[in-house]
Amino acid sequence: MRIIRTSIIAMITVWACTSAYAAHYSDLYVIPVVSHTAGQYGTNWMSDVAIQNFAAAPLTVQLIFIASGEGRLDNVTPVITGTVNGSVTVPAGGSVLLKDVLAGMPGIDSAIGSLILGGDRPFAVTSRAYSMTPDGNTIGQTVPPSANFLNVTEGSTDLSTAVAYIPGLIQNDRFRTNLGLVVANATGFNSVLNVTVTVRNAAGTTVGTRQITVGPGAVTHLQFPVRSLNGAGTASFDIGSAEFRITQGSGSVVSYASVIDNQTADAVFITGNFPDNGTSALSKGMFPQSPFRDLLQRYGVGASIR
274-299 residue pLDDT tens = 776 555 544 444 444 678 877 777 77
Q: How confident is the model at residue 204 (pLDDT cuts 50, 70, 90)?
A: very high
Residue 184 C-alpha from the chain's centroid = 10
Tell me the pLDDT tens digit for each residue of 105-121.
766 667 889 999 999 88
> 293 by DSSP, 3-state: which?
helix
- Is the predicted pLDDT of residue 182 greater than 80, yes or no? yes
> 297 by DSSP, 3-state: which?
helix
- Is the predicted pLDDT of residue 127 greater than 70, yes or no? yes
Residue of 9, 22, 13, 284 lying closest to 151 (CA atoms)? 284
Length of the chain: 306
Q: What is the pLDDT of residue 140?
A: 83
- Residue 271 vs residues 32, 56, 304: alpha-carbon distances, Å: 9, 31, 27
Q: Which domains can be identified in the chain, with CATH numbers?
A: 26-148+285-299 (2.60.290.11), 151-271 (2.60.290.11)
285 contacts: CB under 8 Å, gap ≥ 6? 17, 21, 22, 23, 24, 25, 26, 122, 147
- Is the predicted pLDDT of residue 208 greater than 70, yes or no? yes
Q: What is the pLDDT of residue 107?
A: 61
Q: What is the pLDDT of residue 214?
A: 92
Q: What is the pTM of this model?
A: 0.83
CB 143 within 8 A of CB 123: no
Query: Which has the minimum average pLDDT: 36-45, 143-152, 254-263?
Result: 36-45
Q: What is the pLDDT of residue 134?
A: 67
Residue 68 C-alpha from the chain's centroid = 11
Query: Which has the minimum average pLDDT: 89-103, 228-242, 283-297?
Result: 283-297
Task: Give the separation between CA 286 and CA 283, rounded to whole angstroms.
Answer: 5
263 contacts: CB under 8 Å, gap ≥ 6? 174
Task: Give the separation between CA 25 and CA 267, rounded to whole angstroms.
Answer: 26
| Conformational region of residue 283, where left means phi above 0, alpha means psi within -120 to 50, and beta covers everything else | alpha
Cα angle for residues 23, 27, 33 (degrees, 5° grid): 95
Phi, psi of 111, deg, nearest 5? -150, 150
